[in-house]
Amino acid sequence: MGAYDTPTRPCPYCGTECEADWVDVGVGYQQCGPYYCPNCGASEIGPFDDEARILTDEEKKTGWYKPGSPVSDKANTFKDCLVDHKTAKRLYEMGLLNKK
């Protein structure tokens, strides 16, 4: 895998290949958003997510929020749906990005 490859991960709930949001930092890409399953809606739990959020045993085991659960409170969202960083920037400039 090279510096500019963006790895995928299988969803721990349904097995669908999932992608995350990545940004070019000059020497490769850095992940800047959670992995998200387009099939079942599961999403990766981030290292700085709300510690008060109560996780199920399965979420603790997989490191992903279960399907149908809200995404990370730190993720870029519009109408409570995950958006990539480029879309988030445009929405922010228009005043439409969800407030955190």
The helix/strand/coil state of 82 is strand
Do the beta carbons of residue 23 and residue 29 sit within 8 Å? yes
pLDDT tens profile 30-62: 999 999 999 999 999 999 998 899 999 999 999
- Report domain extents, the chain: 9-71
Tell me the C-alpha distance between 41 and 18, whole Å: 10
Q: What is the pLDDT of residue 91?
A: 95
Tell me the C-alpha distance between 6 and 21, whole Å: 9
Enter the pTM of the model: 0.85
Tell me the C-alpha distance between 13 and 3, whole Å: 28
Triad 17, 19, 20: Cα angle to 5°: 155
